[in-house]
Structure 1
């Protein structure tokens, strides 16, 4: 049996628990490794290094190579067998496969669930290890450390690391028992910057449940694993499994627990590797830890992300989770309906992607949307592109840009590579234009577009009628940030490519008869902000929404219905509560969802005009009047771009979806569809 590929650190306890590194070196092609560079030798022996765009071939992108579930079982058994009869107290270890991490990476402490091995993140180690310093807590099989002493161990580690790096957050990822321990630690250390990620937390373990499971285990012989293995073969018709099923139905203990016990044995497959006395101890530890967490949760001030499985939740109580959500002041809940009890070991779930989409990753005391942003991997972009494939196929967007000499060209040849660039344009209905544009910029130019989006996409008041945050994951994955002057300032200072819609929600959720009408404020500071960094301002226009939808039930109609009027006002007030005194046009827009009907799909057209230079004009544009002149120039250019597109699209033979479909059938679905002559 291979030894686990882990480096064990004793933390605060001495240990002789070391393993050799059996991790093999992995190699990646240009698709899966965004940092890969290729080389070619010159005749004189020198080398030229060129950077490969990792997003050019996302169709061939594969998930990042990671350990399999079988590897997990092998290493779990290695841990259990290596513990022996005297495994010692709990201790920390750091997985070797995490490799080199980014500078200033925060510490991530993993607290295991009922298995206690500390290997629950084994499929996540490599990706998490690129941006975190990972320590995992391991409980030897023979360990009987009570919950309060485990909490003290974790607290010593947290306080030591906080003293060493006080300006860096400490992440605690906990599953079931580990989640309860994490809440206890957070409640006792409100002065330490903690970020909790709790998977299927158990905050109340009833005595009835505990007695039911404990009583059932008591009547089993010592070889519980063998019995469980037989039970898992029930569907194949093994006779002992039928007897086991009958025993579950007939015993008094089973009657007390009902179907809960079947879920306990059927879903907690890890338990079959432990002896009976260890299982009983784990249940007592779970009871003690959950009771302590339940009594202290009102003291928790830490930022918290709760991850819930939709299937096989044998201990979770919806009322407890809702109470936990309401009690914790900085809490967000994410549900994964198709996942089971062992959330982090299942295919299709990437913890780092969840952290990125929820904007929970930060290196300092507060989130910096610029420096803390982690771009999508090629595979993440592929999945995002596939989620938008139907919309992209329906829109079949045409991209036009302008060279320095004023020549209009197809695609993005006229877009400067170096920032800072500020793209200023009109919002389409429902803001549908940003997604295909962000994909196109990454695939063709490896340029992330940092869109300034409505703050409602980034925060939500507990009990609010605002939409669930998960519906905005795709927007946040591609780098959207809340619109504000400070975020615009930081993005331009970092030389980013920033997209700004001065019309905001009022333009994206416009009313009947307002198609292609700009709702820009009388004054805007974006010109003066851009001039501070010498940013180029690129006006752009987008048309095509009238080829897809027609608004039939707008804001004015909805305000005539008392129920909808009250709902809109409530949602708007919730947002007003969250924006913390933010001023400007964004704060004066009621949030609603216009009713639309689809049309026979036409086509989207996006035209980027000639850049407007601000470099060297900082002193000139400090004057509000001169800056306002440039502001009006930008607005005029946006209107000109829209007018150009509305005229030219009339000569596009592929504006309708039918000729586009025929073109795809003749030339392949990956072919580029022509458009009007330039």
Structure 2
């Protein structure tokens, strides 16, 4: 089991600079074309904030350009269009319906279209500017489409991606159609309208002189400040109108964009619709049973989105609802270049093409950019300057990963370092250098909780799911072997990852073989490996045995252990001790991580032999001894590494360039 990889290093929700654009309206299904400016390569850290702002601006620019094409009055009703970039997709891709926010244009996913189009059949709802369809009728329009598509494919889920007003629409449709398999993705839902400053805008807009209406967007562009205090304090609107007009922009950062698209009358209509939509959706929350993912921004100037996310999380079914927070993002989440909706869906295991998520058939491999983000989330990745050795078929030990078999099925079996810090470097290096996706068998606590409590939020482990981790168990191992996958297994699991003082590099494996016979059934190659380096990173000074002697910590450990799904509860010996706790670690100046992959062990041709209990146990003990040999080899060899110390590595890079590869000991 890949037990506890992310406790010290939680990853922020993954974001990447998305690819190109949308499509252009026809009468029924529309498409929009645009020219994208390629995002530049990786910037220096000092320039990241500036680059993020630039991408955010470009997202708005593209949105405005496409919106101007779509808001030309045509007298038509609300309708669906499918972006041109969404034409090529996986077989049996589920339907995704985008329900827009207050603008109603339908191009709010413009930065996401290309990636969404690879795995979804994507439709976007366009509500013309002059359209005055009441909210209940919009619900009916979406219902008709949903019902029609459900009849065509009952075994596929239907994704409803709603932004603010669209989130209310998604909730309403799901509440009225509990028999349909929905996946709801709600971005900054407007169910919080009654607690937002938006409700103050209606009297303010009505107070504007009619002569200002045609140039409302120009006024908003030139203004700055924040002064809705007059309204809150009950001062006469006539005496404060000039100040209020001046201060719209900073109070509502997004209004200049809306004013560019929406005239005053339409904006008033939309604000009134927000009020009715919020009430409509809130009154039906109790009947929603759909799988739901709530995305909330921390810098939303229009709605109290993070508080609303927490509220909805409590009201919607616990087992089907998850929340992800984006502290640095604003209201229009999908228009920010740093937000990648596909990566979010993959990281939360919300992508499925059937009734239930299948970790094999529904897995979408990570992209190089996603792997880069995973590496960035692991703050020690560059500091520990990982050394990897592998063994060729003739027994020759080489630097690098040339000895790793390219064709599966392959099973990597090794030791787990403290807190599972070894997993991410292994997965990322094999992907980056050999283009091999390794599916880590991970503890179920990375995917589900027995109950809510004090364990780290499940969002901390999204990066593991992006890299292809699956819950450990015989069924998933069988599926992975049957698909010729490369699989990572830590037989010591949590017991090794939460080891006691003085137990560095000690194996805590089950007495009986757990993987040999299944590996032999598929003729899988077993690659034993060892990894060392945790003792150069920190020292356990207060472990489980110390903690349980203190009543408070003993109670906390019991509570944490109850939250996590249980494994090996009936297994005897130390490996059965699955208590979840966090030892006190005295940090050190980081040394290096060393990996040594031994010679691949063949099971092909030995299928019948290794099905016998005695032979499989003998093979199992041989694998274990090989792992111990790899560990001993690394512990000896690292003493001869002139760059084991961080200071020596920094000096080398200062001399040879900070992107230069740091040497190590001679083999």
- What SS class does the counterpart of residue 513 from structure 1 fall into? coil
Match of 1:6 among 23, 27, 39: 23
C-alpha contact (below 8 Å) 1:232/1:266 kept by paired residues? no
- What SS class does the counterpart of residue 205 from structure 1 fall into? helix
1:541 alignment partner in structure 2: 530
Structure 2: 5+ residue runs without aligned partners? 1-20, 43-51
C-alpha contact (below 8 Å) 1:23/1:97 kept by paired residues? no
> Structure 1 residues 268 and 631, CA, compared in 2 at 3 Å: closer, same or farther?
farther
Structure 1 residue 530 corresponds to structure 2 residue 519? yes
**Separation (CA, whole Å) in 2 of partners of 1:459 and 1:127:** 27
2:171 alignment partner in structure 1: 183
**Separation (CA, whole Å) in 2 of partners of 1:27 and 1:346:** 15
> Structure 1 residues 302 and 246, CA, compared in 2 at 3 Å: closer, same or farther?
closer
1:316 alignment partner in structure 2: 304
Give the superposition deviation at 1:396: 1.4
Aligned length: 627
1:338 alignment partner in structure 2: 328
1:111 alignment partner in structure 2: 99
> Structure 1 residues 636 and 93, CA, compared in 2 at 3 Å: closer, same or farther?
same
Match of 2:341 among 341, 351, 360: 351
1:149-192 per-residue CA deviation (whole Å, 9 max, x = no partner) reads 21111112112112111121111100111111111111122221
Structure 1 residue 517 corresponds to structure 2 residue 534? no
C-alpha contact (below 8 Å) 2:540/2:585 kept by paired residues? yes
1:69 alignment partner in structure 2: 60
The TM-score normalised by the length of structure 2 is 0.87
> Structure 1 residues 122 and 580, CA, compared in 2 at 3 Å: closer, same or farther?
farther
Match of 1:195 among 153, 160, 183: 183
Structure 1 residue 139 corresponds to structure 2 residue 131? no
C-alpha contact (below 8 Å) 1:551/1:596 kept by paired residues? yes
Give the superposition deviation at 1:503: 0.4
- What SS class does the counterpart of residue 171 from structure 1 fall into? strand
2:15 alignment partner in structure 1: none
Structure 1 residue 374 corresponds to structure 2 residue 361? no
C-alpha contact (below 8 Å) 1:112/1:175 kept by paired residues? yes
2:354 alignment partner in structure 1: 364
Give the superposition deviation at 1:204: 4.4
Give the superposition deviation at 1:409: 1.1
2:486 alignment partner in structure 1: 497
Structure 1 residue 271 corresponds to structure 2 residue 258? yes
> Structure 1 residues 369 and 300, CA, compared in 2 at 3 Å: closer, same or farther?
same
**Separation (CA, whole Å) in 2 of partners of 1:68 and 1:375:** 26
Give the superposition deviation at 1:355: 1.0
1:450-489 superposed matches below 5 A: 450-460=439-449, 463-489=452-478
**Separation (CA, whole Å) in 1 of partners of 2:301 and 2:38:** 38
C-alpha contact (below 8 Å) 2:22/2:110 kept by paired residues? no
**Separation (CA, whole Å) in 2 of partners of 1:377 and 1:109:** 24
1:436 alignment partner in structure 2: 425
1:40 alignment partner in structure 2: none
1:508-556 per-residue CA deviation (whole Å, 9 max, x = no partner) reads 1111111111111122331111112110011111111111110012112
**Separation (CA, whole Å) in 2 of partners of 1:123 and 1:613:** 47
**Separation (CA, whole Å) in 1 of partners of 2:198 and 2:649:** 63
The TM-score normalised by the length of structure 1 is 0.85
2:5 alignment partner in structure 1: none
Give the superposition deviation at 1:653: 2.1
1:301-347 per-residue CA deviation (whole Å, 9 max, x = no partner) reads 11111000101343336654333102222111111111111111112
**Separation (CA, whole Å) in 1 of partners of 2:205 and 2:302:** 16
Higher relative contact order (CA 8 A, sep 6+): 2
Match of 1:664 among 639, 643, 653: 653
C-alpha contact (below 8 Å) 2:598/2:626 kept by paired residues? yes
C-alpha contact (below 8 Å) 1:67/1:122 kept by paired residues? no
> Structure 1 residues 164 and 582, CA, compared in 2 at 3 Å: closer, same or farther?
farther
> Structure 1 residues 188 and 263, CA, compared in 2 at 3 Å: closer, same or farther?
farther
Structure 1: 5+ residue runs without aligned partners? 10-15, 33-61, 236-240
- What SS class does the counterpart of residue 395 from structure 1 fall into? coil
C-alpha contact (below 8 Å) 1:110/1:173 kept by paired residues? yes
**Separation (CA, whole Å) in 2 of partners of 1:572 and 1:214:** 51
> Structure 1 residues 250 and 331, CA, compared in 2 at 3 Å: closer, same or farther?
same
> Structure 1 residues 115 and 253, CA, compared in 2 at 3 Å: closer, same or farther?
farther
- What SS class does the counterpart of residue 128 from structure 1 fall into? helix
1:6-44 per-residue CA deviation (whole Å, 9 max, x = no partner) reads 3447xxxxxx46767644699999x99xxxxxxxxxxxx
2:612 alignment partner in structure 1: 623
2:48 alignment partner in structure 1: none
